[in-house]
Structure 1
Amino acid sequence: MTVIGTNIAAMRAQSASQSASMQLQDSMERLSSGKRINSAKDDAAGLAISTKMTAQIRSLNAAARNANDGISLAQTAEGALGQISSILQRIRELAVQSSNGTVTDTDRAGLDNEARALLDQINTIAQTTDFNGVKLLDGSGGAITIQTGANATDKVDIALQNVQALALGVGKTSSSINSAINALSASTGGGVATAEAALRRALESGTRPGYIAWAGGAHVPALNSAINNLATAASNNPCAPRPDSAVTAAEATLRAVIASPANMGSMAAAIDLSTSATASQSLVKLDAALNNVAATRASLGASQNRLAVTIDNITSTVTNLTEARSRIEDADFSAETTALAKAQILAQASTAMIAQANQAQQSVLSLIRQ
């Protein structure tokens, strides 16, 4: 049937042209971006999956950086422990020298002074070693948790130990005890009986009873000396009795100091090279300290190895996830180039067919003219 009101051929050609034009635009967008999915309309499900994969990949990359930071932290701590180990070895060498019977007291005093200076250096290293502001070896940090994965449970703890001299069992006698005794002396001031009784009460009724019963049940010599000195000071410097509240407060202060494991440990574990006997006793403490440091270094080494393996695993996982995401969202250039050529041909052909359809309408006019 010949009609002029509706050009069906032209409409169909126009529809084909629009379809070819859309295919041409899609192919050009994919080829220019390199992505098969450029918006949700391209592949809604694929976009959702690839978005989750992208989040996973970025999180894992951050976790790998965290693990590398953890390795650096462990290396920093381990390096400082290496220095402490060398210092302990030197102190042990001095202790062996001091234990020798051919060494004079003057020589031992020099050896003891060097040992004390080295113990101070151990404390300095322990108190100043840090990573990004986090103290590592003074006992304040505890275990450091490293986030090593994309999930909340993916964590690795790096165990850090307090390696100050007291914690290692090689500290010096704590000056804080002397300060507390001085404070008690100033507060009691009412005579020998009051001063000595207050000091003994503080020592014997503290929160950690039993710490004064070393050396076969006798008071520690340092404490006996403190009591004697306090008694002498009180008898030589008589003054008006102080209120009971002052005595009680001073006792409480001393009791807290005595109750401190760190302070009591310092008295029990003091390194003393001033005599042959104490130098020999110090060897046992130094061996224990060296073993402690070695164990901590071994733990840090194990943490470094674990984190290195974790990084390798993360790298493998990221590679596999990236490959899987690529298969979902990346454009296949071979296929898209073919699709582009096809769309170009169809667009050109449909345009030509529109022209032909419009030309067919002109033939109706020839019938009218005749």
Structure 2
Amino acid sequence: MQGTVDTRIPYLTSLSYLQTQSLNQENAKSQKALSTSIEHISTGLRVIDASDDLAGFAIADRFDVQIQGLSKAMQNTNEALSAARIAEGSLNEYTDILGYMQELAEKATNTSVSNSERASLQDEIANLQDRLKSISEETSFRGRKLLDGTYRTQNIQVGNTLEQVLSVSLNSARPDQVGLHEVVSGGQMNDAGNFLDTVYAFIDNGVSSLDSITIQGHSGAEYIEVSDNASAKDIADLINAQSDKTGVEAQAKSYAKIYNLLNAGDVSFILHGASETSINATITSADDLTPLYEELESKISATHITPKLSADGKAISLYGTEGHNIGIEDFDHSIFPTTIQFTGLEPDGETTAGVAKTLVNGFNDSILVGGYIEIQSDEPFIVFTGTGKSLFTTPSSTQLPTLQALDTIDISLQENATQALEIIDHANEYVKRIKSDVQAYESGFEAIVKRLESASEQMEDSKHRVVDANLAEETLKASSATIQIQSQNALVTQANKLIPEYSLFLLRQ
């Protein structure tokens, strides 16, 4: 029987083939491992996509979102910081202009300056007023005006959460809104007609605790408790004692006039002001009170009451520079009876306040008049009056201030120049406060930028600790993969050579 040839591939051949396939698969894995390691080394990252580390990729993604939020917050804060610096520069110029306006107003108060010179000074003032208006209207950042009063409650996102918002507001620097805000009392204490008697000790100015007031200023509100017979100076001192809490100050003044002396002769009385001082003068003509004026002038240092003789010499105005009650006690004359008129004056120093009264020697020879309180601030405020009428004529009322603004200053007259100085002083304080607010914003923004930069750097560091590659470890992996690939390639080459040789051997059998 003829023998047959077994054509089946022997077990060894099949095994070699399977081993070759396995080696090819391992080689592919090694190639992929090598490629991954090289990518990690070249990028410096361990986590490139979610396939590398799903949890790490999610953490890194959250860090990216937070870092982007901090970056935007830094951009917002830097823009706000730039706006604040622009505002500060403009306010510096504004303050310089106010200083020059003050110099011009001080020159205008000098009695040696002529009216034509004052007119020239006023022309300069007008030019400066225009510059102030220009600064307030043209100072802007990215289209937003900063100093015209419209930059209010600007919310700046200074963090990566909704709660991290800083609200910024800048007050107006418009010259028609900056200056002296003032409430002037005008109650019955200024009416000398209410306070006449034969004994000075029996007279008071009518002020009582019912005239107590409440002041609501830009810094806060305070109750000002007024005592009985308090002078304008006393009340102003009470208001000033609370100025740190309210932002409101006060100054007191008192005005009176004596006139229409009936007879020439020897005149005497006790003048009450800052102190009690005896006044004695010999009047040679009832139409000329010069001797009495000179006597009063010589006692200014004691009484703090400045006299002013009228042009015709028949009247003397009395100006209490500190707001003390102005009183005359025991008016006497060498001729009996002799009369003289006495009245309080309005704050203009000329208009009669209330009803004039007649002093008669040996009879109704004593009288007094209270003063005025000028309640002032460089920002709006409110005065709530008491139930009395001595300080304010309308009880239980709300008194709002009038504004004497920078753009109304006119120093062409000497008397206006003094008032201009007062307006400029208050404007200066107001602008300094705006500037202080701006500088506080600047400091805050600078601190926020540093904080955000630090937080961003820390988050970047945290992110990189998650995603950055360990180069030594990745290099080791790449070397290991390279060695495996080389070994696997050698084995595959050997296996591929062995299989056909063995197959030929079998065919020759």
TM over 0.5: yes
TM-score (norm 1): 0.68
Task: Encode CA deviations 1:20-57: one digit per residue, 9 max, x unaligned.
Answer: 12211211222233322222111111111112212222
Q: Deviations over 1:62-97 (max 9, x none)?
A: 322322222211111111111111111111122222
- Aligned equivalents of 1:44, 1:99: Cα separation in 2: 82
**Aligned pair 1:128/2:138, yes or no?**
yes
Task: Spell out, residue by residue over 1:248-275, the C-alpha distance to the aligned partner (whole angstroms, 9 max, x if none).
Answer: xxxxxxxxxxxxx99x635798323233
**1:272 is the counterpart of 2:282:** no
Asked whether the 8 Å contact 1:64–1:311 carries over to 2, the reply is: yes
Give the secondary structure class of the aligned counterpart of 1:42.
coil
What do you get for the CA RMSD once the two structures are aligned? Answer: 3.0
2:100 is matched with: 90
1:29 to 25, 39, 42: 39
Q: Is the 8 A contact 1:20 1:347 kept in 2?
A: yes
What are the Cα deviations for residues 156-197 of structure 1, in whole angstroms up to 9, with x where unaligned? 3333121011211269xxxxxxxxxxxxxxxxxxxxxxxxxx
| Matched AA of 2:433 | A
Q: Which has the higher helix share?
A: 1
**Aligned ranges for residues 1-370 of structure 1 at < 5 Å?**
2-6=11-15, 7-169=17-179, 265=403, 270-358=408-496
Deviation of residue 290 (structure 1)? 0.2
Give the conservation status (yes or no) of the 8 Å contact 2:13–2:502.
no
Quick one: distance in 2 between partners of 1:292 and 1:351?
87
What is the identity percentage for the equivalent residue pairs of Structure 1 and Structure 2? 28
Q: In 2, distance between residues paired with 1:34 and 1:268?
A: 65
Q: CA deviation at 1:364?
A: 7.8
User: How far apart in 1 are the matches of 2:446 and 2:99?
Assistant: 31
Higher relative contact order (CA 8 A, sep 6+): 1
Letter in 2 for 1:76: I
Q: Deviations over 1:267-320 (max 9, x none)?
A: 798323233322212222211110111111111111111111111111111111
Is contact 1:159–1:300 with CA below 8 Å preserved after alignment?
A: no
Change (3 A) 1:290 1:267: closer
User: What letter matches 1:51 in structure 2?
Assistant: D
Measure, in 2, the Cα distance between the counterparts of 1:22 and 1:104.
Answer: 99
SS of the aligned residue for 1:285 comes to: helix
Contact residue 137 and residue 162 of structure 1 kept, 8 A: yes
**What residue identity is the alignment partner of 2:95?**
S
- How many corresponding residue pairs? 284
* Separation of aligned partners in 2, 1:99 and 1:116: 17
Q: Which structure is larger by alpha-carbon Rg, 1 or 2?
A: 2
Query: Any idea what the Cα deviations from partners look like across 1:345-369, whole Å, max 9, x if unmatched?
Result: 1111122223444556565875786
Once the two structures are TM-superposed, the CA of residue 106 in structure 1 deviates from its matched residue by 2.5
Q: Structure 1 residues 302, 267: closer, same or farther in 2, change over 3 A?
A: closer
Name the CA shift for 1:113/1:139 in 2 (closer, same or farther; >3 Å). same
* Shift in CA distance, 35/75, structure 1 to aligned 2, threshold 3 Å: same
Which residue is equivalent to 1:233? none
CA distance in 2, matches of 1:72, 1:57: 22
Contact residue 170 and residue 270 of structure 1 kept, 8 A: no
Q: CA 1:89/1:268 → structure 2, altered by over 3 Å: closer, same or farther?
A: closer
CA distance in 1, matches of 2:89, 2:19: 84
Contact conserved, 2:406 with 2:424, CA < 8 A, in 1?
Answer: no
Which whole-Å CA distance do the structure 1 matches of 2:125 and 2:407 have between them?
14
- Gaps (5+ residues) in structure 2? 1-9, 182-343, 349-399
8 Å contact kept, 1:170–1:271 = no
TM-score normalised according to structure 2 size: 0.51
Distance across 1 between alignment mates of 2:426 and 2:404: 15
Q: Secondary structure at the match of 1:265?
A: strand
Give me the whole-angstrom Cα distance separating, in 2, the residues matched to 1:72 and 1:268: 28
- The equivalent of 1:188 in structure 2 is none
Instruction: Report the Cα offset of residue 3 of structure 1.
Output: 4.9
Equivalent AA in structure 1 for residue 154 of structure 2: I
- Whose strand proportion is higher, 1 or 2? 2
Q: 1:105 to 1:88 in 2, by over 3 A?
A: same
Deviations 1:122-167 (A, max 9, x none): 1111111111211111112224333222222322333312101121
Structure 1: state its 5+ residue gaps.
172-215, 221-260
- Rate the CA distance shift 1:163–1:271 in 2: closer, same or farther, 3 A: same
* Residue pair 1:126, 1:138 contacting (<8 A) in 2 also: yes
Contact 1:269–1:285 (CA under 8 A) maintained in structure 2: no
Contact 1:158/1:300 (<8 A) preserved: no
Provide the C-alpha distance between the structure 1 equivalents of 2:25 and 2:406, rounded to a whole number of angstroms: 97
